[in-house]
Chain A
């Protein structure tokens, strides 16, 4: 036994290093989203004439569908991880593909909503209802940061799926990616009620 092997200790968490690393990233990213949501709350409370422009159709209904899509993508990701851990590579790749598809659908619905709002005159610095411009800044800032996480998550899932299929990545990589994806879903569970439902007409 080498000297290095004799001095190594087992991880107290009982998990692979990459899994611990993604958990630490999730905690940091969670603090980031927490801070941006608190900033939104601060601006909202401190601004007496805050706009509440979201009608049931199309905005709230669209956001509800987006929520359903993202929740379903978490289930497909769970099935991908389960398949990967059972050694079922083809099934794992299929479920990863399904997750990426649902993530893309979420992003497409979101961008469609954004462009509809741009068309109405909304931007990060303009409120077409003559209310505070902070509405656009906070709305597009928060949803934009989340959308960035979704898009990079879809890209990561596709890379992992391709590598897993070729044998370059293992079930641990799939599980690590799954943790990131569930975090993206978890953040949306706060964004949807705080940013959409609280601004419903």
Chain B
């Protein structure tokens, strides 16, 4: 069975994507030494990581060139599962108050 995607990125596109990802890594390192608060640093690094992941999924893993049903069948479910894990943060914050008292 042939694949659904009719177009594939060129080697030039792969190189541009690689340069973009390396640039994001450089920005992440610079932010690490920018004396940000831990919360701000975490938010910035996580946001950049999500951008990198999106680029990798779209271009390296060719999700952009596959049928839309593949994206909608796979990604929302995983995102939902990962968002559900966010419920644990309240318990982690509670641990801090338990250690040091109210």
Residues of chain A touching chain B, judged by Cβ–Cβ distance below 8 Å, are 10-16, 19-20, 23-24, 27, 30-31, 34-35, 38, 41-43, 45-48, 56, 60, 64, 67-68, 71-72, 74-75, 78-79, 82, 85, 179, 182-183, 185-186, 189-190, 192-194, 197-198, 200
Residues of chain B touching chain A, judged by Cβ–Cβ distance below 8 Å, are 1, 3-4, 8, 11, 14-15, 18, 21-22, 25, 28-29, 31-33, 38, 41-42, 45-46, 48-49, 52-53, 56-57, 60-61, 66-67, 69-70, 73-74, 77-78, 81-82, 85-86, 88-89, 91-93, 95-96, 99-100
Contact of A64 among B8, B29, B45 (CB under 8 A): B29
Question: Chain B at the A interface: mostly helix, strand, loop or mixed?
Answer: helix
Contact A42 B89 (CB under 8 A): yes
Asked if A45 meets B1 with Cβ closer than 8 Å, knowing A60-B29, A68-B22, the reply is no
A173 to B46, CA, bound (A): 33
Q: When A and B form their complex, which 6 residue pairs have the shortest distance between CB atoms, in order from nearest?
A: A14-B4, A46-B95, A193-B45, A45-B92, A189-B52, A182-B60
Contact B92 A186 (CB under 8 A): no
Contact of B4 among A15, A186, A193, A194 (CB under 8 A): A15
A31 to B85, CA, bound (A): 10
Contact B32 A31 (CB under 8 A): no
Residues of B within 8 A of A186 (CB): 52-53, 56-57, 60-61
Contact A45 B73 (CB under 8 A): no
A42 to B95, CA, bound (A): 10
Contact B82 A31 (CB under 8 A): yes
A23 to B71, CA, bound (A): 10
Asked if A74 meets B25 with Cβ closer than 8 Å, knowing A13-B67, A48-B99, A194-B45, the reply is no
Q: How far is the CB of B94 from chain A (nearest CB, A)?
A: 8
Contact B92 A41 (CB under 8 A): yes
Contact A71 B21 (CB under 8 A): yes
A72 to B60, CA, bound (A): 11
Residues of B within 8 A of A194 (CB): 45-46, 49
Other than A30-B78, A60-B32, A78-B14, give 12 A-B pairs with Cβ distance below 8 A: A27-B77, A31-B81, A34-B82, A42-B92, A56-B33, A75-B14, A75-B18, A182-B56, A189-B53, A192-B25, A193-B49, A198-B42
Contact A38 B88 (CB under 8 A): yes
